[in-house]
Amino acid sequence: MTQIELRGIEKFFGAVQVIHNLNLAIADNEFIVLLGQSGCGKTTTLRAVAGLETIDKGDILIDGKPVQHLKAADRDIAMVFQSFSLYPHMTVFENVAFPLRATRMSSGEVDKSVREVARVLRITDLLDKRPSALSGGDMQRVAIGRALVRRPKAMLMDEPIGALDAKLREEMRAEIKRLHVKQGSTTIYVTHDQIEAMSLADRIVIMHEGFIQQVGTPDEVYSHPANLFVAQFVGSPVMNIAEARVADRPGAASVTVGGAPAGFEFPHRLLSKLNGHSNGGLTLGIRPEGVLVRHDAASGYMPVEASIIEPLGSFDIVDLKVGSTMLRARTKAGYVSGPGEKVHVRIDPEQAHFFDTASGKSLGVRL
C-alpha cells in the first residue's frame, strides 16, 4: 500500500534547470511510466524519488511522509537500473540475497525468499552462475529479482529493458507486465520508447525539457494529445502536422493544408467549435490512419500523387503530396503500387486534431 506524491519539484544542474515545478500523485499499485526523449528530466525525476539525486525545491511524499531528506536506504524503495548494476563478483544467488543480507536477515529466511523470487522469475537454474555468464535478458531478470526480493514499498525502473535487443525487449515487456499484475506494487518506470509506455502503463507522464506535457492513460494521450509535442511523440508512424486554413462553404467547412488549390471537406459545425481560430495560427494534426486513400474518385476525395511508399509488412506508409506539404497515409500493404501513382485522398474528420500554432496547445476540438 504505497502512494507517492511529488509536489513542486525543481532541480538544477548548475545554472541549468532540469525539472520545472513538477507535480504528480501516484496511487497505490499504479504503474506510472515517465516517457520522454533523453535529457527531458525523466531519469532525474526517478533518481530524485529513489534518493540518488537531491532536489532543490519541493516535496517528495511516500505514504504522505516527506522523504526528500532521507537517504536512499531509508526510503524502502527498490530500483532496477538500465545498466543492470549486478554485483559482478557475486553469484546470482548472492546478488538477489544482497538487499536481504544487508539488513541482517537470518540465512534461512534469505534462502527461502531468494528461492521464491527465483521461481517466480524462472531463474532458479542460474542461481550459482555469475552475472558475466548470463544473457542480457537473464541479467535483467536477476536485477528485477534483486528489487522484488525485499518486497519494497515501490519499484523504480530506469529503462530496464532499453539495453536489450528488440525481440528480447518484447518478451521482457510482457514479463514485467505479468509480474506487475501478479505482485502488484506501485511502480515508476522510465523509458523513451512509446510502445513500452503504451503497453505497460496505467498512466503515462510525458515529459519534455523538464516540464510535464500531459498525464493520462495510454488511450487519453493517444486519442487526446494535449499539445503538438505529445501528438507527435506518441504514436507510430508519427502524426501528420500541417498549417491549416478553414473556409466557410455552403453546408460544410473546408480545411486547406499546404496551400493546396482545394480543401478537405469537414462538417460545418467545425467552424463554431474552432471559435475564431479559423484564420491563421491553426494547425491540423491527423494520424496516418486518419488519411483515407482510394483509387477511384469519390465525393469529398481530392486527387493527389503518391511520392514515397514505405512497405512495413502488415501495412504501407504512403507519402502524398498535398499542396506544398506531405501527408503520410496508412494503407493496406501493396494498395498503392508505386511512386507517381494518382490516388484520391480524404481526411477523416473524426480523427482530426486541431492545435493553436503559437502555443502548440490542443484546441480540444473533436468531431
Partner 1 sequence: MASVALTNLDPASRAAARGWSDLTIRNLFIIPTLVFLIVFNIFPLIYSLGYSFTNFAANRSEPWQFVGLQNYRELLSDDHIWSNFVITAKYVIVSVAGQMVVGFGLALLLNRSFPMKGLITTLLLLPMMMSAAVVGLFWQLLYSPSWGPINYVFGLGDFAWLSNPDSALYAVAITDIWMWSPFVMLLSLAGLSAVPQHLYEAAAIDRAGWWYTFTRITLPLVSPILLIALIFRTMEAFKTFDIAYTMTTQPTAELIAIRLYKQAFQQWDTGKSCALAYIVLIMVLAITNLYVKYLNKVKER
Site residues (CB under 8 A) for partner 1?
50-52, 71-73, 76-79, 81, 83, 85, 87-90, 98-99, 102-103, 130, 146, 150
- Grid cell digits, residue 253: 467547412
Closest separation in Å from C-beta 151 to partner 1: 13
Closest separation in Å from C-beta 99 to partner 1: 4
Sheet with 240-249, side-by-side order of all strands = 264-267, 252-257, 240-249, 282-286, 352-356
Closest separation in Å from C-beta 83 to partner 1: 5
β-bridge partners, 243? 283
Closest separation in Å from C-beta 77 to partner 1: 7
Q: Cell numbers 491553426 label which residue? A: 282
Question: In this complex, which beta carbon is closest to partner 1, that of residue 19 or of residue 46?
Answer: 46
Closest by alpha carbon to 50, among 31, 35, 71? Answer: 71
Kind of pairing between the strands at 282-286 and 240-249: antiparallel
Contact criterion met (CB below 8 Å) for 237 and 351: no
Closest separation in Å from C-beta 5 to partner 1: 20
Q: Which amino acid is at 85?
A: S
Question: In this complex, which beta carbon is closest to partner 1, that of residue 88 or of residue 338?
Answer: 88
Question: In this complex, which beta carbon is closest to partner 1, that of residue 109 or of residue 171?
Answer: 109
Contact criterion met (CB below 8 Å) for 50 and 80: no
Closest separation in Å from C-beta 110 to partner 1: 13
Closest separation in Å from C-beta 157 to partner 1: 12
Question: In this complex, which beta carbon is closest to partner 1, that of residue 27 or of residue 73?
Answer: 73
Q: Which residues have CB under 8 Å from 323's CB, separation 6+? A: 256, 257, 258, 259, 260, 261
Question: In this complex, which beta carbon is closest to partner 1, that of residue 75 or of residue 169?
Answer: 75
Question: In this complex, which beta carbon is closest to partner 1, that of residue 74 or of residue 171?
Answer: 74
Closest separation in Å from C-beta 130 to partner 1: 7
CA 68 to chain centre: 26
Contact criterion met (CB below 8 Å) for 322 and 260: yes
Helix (H, G, I), strand (E, B) or coil at 118: helix
CA 48 to chain centre: 20
Question: In this complex, which beta carbon is closest to partner 1, that of residue 153 or of residue 287?
Answer: 153
Question: In this complex, which beta carbon is closest to partner 1, that of residue 81 or of residue 354?
Answer: 81
Return the number of other C-beta atoms located less than 10 Å from residue 104's C-beta.
Answer: 7
